[in-house]
Amino acid sequence: MNAVPILSLADVCFAYNAQTQVLRGVSLDILPGTITAILGPNGAGKTTLLRLILGLLKPQRGTIHLNGRPQHTFSRRETSRWIGLVPQSEYIPFDFSVLEFVLLGRAPYLGPLDMPREQDRAIALEALRTLGLEHLRERAMPSLSGGERQLAMMARVLAQQPRLLLLDEPTAHLDLSNRDRILNVLRAQARAGVTVMFTTHDPNLAATLADYVILMRQGALLAAGTLEATLTAENLAATYGIPVRVMRVDGQLFVMS
């Protein structure tokens, strides 16, 4: 594996106002082709961290580098070719069909007035097939269930073909079948060299999917490292403020409160 980080944060601090320090001195390196889970309670700063990485927010202190280059030097188009985000939810103001919505992922590769090409359409259709949504391609986005919308947002980011994939609570609205589909897609992305980072409240999701774990509380990193070294009862108890047990069941780490 290439040892050069695809993403580096050094002493990153962020506050929405003078009274609310959301991130405090966050430093971390993320290696390419890995899957990293960001765990922590509500208000830990997980979503804010993703927004900083994406460049939607600017740190008040510290630096963020993408593939060794200062993040603030990337144009919006360059950033969109490097980083894709699947949010928890998204307001969709127009009655896009599912295919039209997924084609929005191709925008970083098109000029301002360009229409999607046949190649773009083929990439979007493949993303829909991967997520099991091809049969819904002509359906209007507002008519979809919450789980189907979540899968459509995942298909859009696959069509975007980013090198760093950020997901905010990626399985929150999914049933067990579609949850399993998303996990398999993320594993396949990592095998193909895409770097995956996702936030979650669920330590067992991290144990199922992640190579590395970041534990956050009140805007600070409590621990970061490999899954085995970081997902411990002591670390999780400090993160969530409750007693936690970590055991191994059929070779898989399992967390119980």
DSSP per-residue string spanning 41-75: -TTSSHHHHHHHHHTSS--SEEEEEETTEEGGGS-
| Beta bridge partners of residue 37, listed in sequence order | 198, 213
Dihedral angle sign, alpha carbons of residues 216, 222, 228, 232: negative
Rounded to whole angstroms, the Cα distance separating 32 from 79 reads 16
Closest by CA position to 8, among listed 66, 73, 95: 66
> What is the pLDDT of the chain when averaged over all its residues?
93
The residue with greater pLDDT, 146 or 36, is 36
Mean pLDDT of 75-93: 91
Mean pLDDT of 113-138: 95
Rounded to whole angstroms, the Cα distance separating 166 from 104 reads 17
Mean pLDDT of 207-211: 96
Rounded to whole angstroms, the Cα distance separating 190 from 208 reads 14
pLDDT recorded at residue 219: 93
Predicted TM-score (pTM) of the model is 0.94
- Predicted confidence (pLDDT) at residue 2 exceeds the cutoff of 70: no
Q: How many residues in the chain? A: 257
Rounded to whole angstroms, the Cα distance separating 206 from 223 reads 14
pLDDT recorded at residue 30: 97
Q: pLDDT above 90 covers what percent of the chain?
A: 84
pLDDT recorded at residue 91: 82
pLDDT recorded at residue 60: 93
Dihedral angle sign, alpha carbons of residues 177, 182, 184, 185: positive
- Predicted confidence (pLDDT) at residue 1 exceeds the cutoff of 50: no
The residue with greater pLDDT, 3 or 7, is 7
